[in-house]
Amino acid sequence: MAINEQIKALAEKYRDYTATNLSKMVKTKSYSSKEEDVCRLIVELCKEAGFDDVRIDGLGSVIGRVGFGKKAIAFDAHIDTVEVGNLKNWNFDPFSGDIKDGKVWGRGSSDQKGGAASMITAGRILKELGYAGDYSVYFTFTVMEEDCDGMCWKYLIEEEKFKPDLVVSTEPTTCRIYRGHRGRMEIRIILRGISCHGSAPERGVSAAYKAARAALAIEKLNNDLQPDDDNFLGKGTITVSQMDVKGPSQCAVADYAMIYCDRRLTWGEDDKLAIAQVKKYVSEATGDKEEDIIVEMPNYEKLGWTKKDYHQELYFPTWKIPEDHYLVQAAVADYKDLYAKDPVVDKWTFSTNCVATTGRHKIPAIGFGPGDESQAHAPNEINRVEDLVICSGFYALLPYKLDEMNK
């Protein structure tokens, strides 16, 4: 039996195993920076699957390996989740992990413990088949992505000197092959006014009114942003996500305003450009000189579950790779061999750990994951068991397809 047929059969054989593992992970609450319990669970699941090596890195991510090749490919899943939000929006227990109607139900099932469950099954399949090709196949179950995309990988690459040759993100793609996404950054704007008694506001300068004009300037900037040259990633965006206005009392003109922005960066845009644009538009709207407006990029300061002191600025670079890149072509061949049809090759709308692996460190990457992007951070989150099976097979076959291309 050809290797693709063996892998497809094994992925199907382990359908219930994969769904059950995902259910176990969903039942194990793992909000960002509080992932210890699910990490300990994943270590045991990887050991049970027969991985050649499993360890926990300094920041708390689980790193598993199958194979002993000279090259390295890493399949990545972040295993932290956002919180559940208003429970009234849920029709079931967010941590039930129920398996019914061909789906696994609960927080993190798509974003993105589904990818993690399929990775474990892929490792089991590779061990069962005795994979001994050119690649050491790493499976990384990474922490704190929801709070700070890619910091886990920035740590692995820059501090632990683990830099694979290729990366596959298993974030949800509806079983499509993704080859890029926009970057992002967070921007904080500080505006100053002059306070006075509220009974005579003309004596002061209101930071509140400046903030209102600045917010409308951000709306104008968003409308003015342009797409990338080939229109693959689309236009950048900016939006006001938070505002805070303060003064000496409730009977005074406000002398302080803070505006927080989410900025999505298309190809060719970076942090310096984005900050300069904000200064220009806000200055024109408020009448302040650009040098008098504070526009800054905050740092991420939270500690993870290992209490490792590690931080970074809230900047996450844009990335993409060409459609004719050998990793994309191997992925296309992989999909065709397993499912006898052409895959969709596209991009994410949201951001992933690839901002670090590929945006910062230029490691070629693709995405292929179970579940839908629209399920991310939404109430009543689910993942299809069929997607888990498809991805288990896809991940297991990809090292073989890469070996073929290297011959």
Do 187 and 175 belong together in one domain?
no
pLDDT band at 35; cut points 50, 70, 90: very high
Do 237 and 373 belong together in one domain?
no
Q: pTM of the predicted model, to two decimals?
A: 0.96
207 CB-contact burial (10 Å; exposed 0-12 / middle 13-18 / buried 19+): buried
pLDDT score, position 196: 98
Q: Is residue 308 part of a domain?
A: no
> Which range of residues forms the domain containing residue 284?
183-300
Do 202 and 77 belong together in one domain?
no
Do 171 and 224 belong together in one domain?
no
Q: Is residue 313 part of a domain?
A: no
Residue 134 is a catalytic residue: no
Catalytic residue, from 35, 76, 80, 149: name it: 80
The domain total for the chain is 2
Do 119 and 189 belong together in one domain?
no
Do 151 and 271 belong together in one domain?
no
Do 243 and 334 belong together in one domain?
no
pLDDT band at 1; cut points 50, 70, 90: confident
Q: Is residue 305 part of a domain?
A: no
Do 252 and 289 belong together in one domain?
yes
Residue 159 is a catalytic residue: no
Q: Is residue 251 part of a domain?
A: yes
Q: What is the CATH number of the domain that holds 252?
A: 3.30.70.360
Question: Is the pLDDT reported for residue 220 higher than 80?
Answer: yes
pLDDT score, position 405: 87
pLDDT digits (tens, 9 = 90+) for 166-219: 999 999 999 999 999 999 999 999 999 999 999 999 999 999 999 999 999 999
The one-character DSSP state at 147 is T
Do 396 and 362 belong together in one domain?
yes
Q: Is residue 262 part of a domain?
A: yes
Do 204 and 173 belong together in one domain?
no
Interatomic CA distance for residues 134 and 120, integer angstroms: 20
Catalytic residue, from 76, 111, 145, 271: name it: 145
Q: Is residue 389 part of a domain?
A: yes
Interatomic CA distance for residues 327 and 323, integer angstroms: 9
Q: Taking every pair of C-alpha atoms in the chain, what is the biggest distance, in angstroms? A: 86
Do 281 and 348 belong together in one domain?
no
223 CB-contact burial (10 Å; exposed 0-12 / middle 13-18 / buried 19+): exposed
Q: Is residue 142 part of a domain?
A: yes
pLDDT digits (tens, 9 = 90+) for 333-358: 999 999 999 999 999 999 999 999 99
- pLDDT above 70 covers a percentage of the chain that reads 100
The CA-atom distances, in angstroms, between 396 and each of 136, 138, 272 are: 12, 12, 41
Do 187 and 164 belong together in one domain?
no
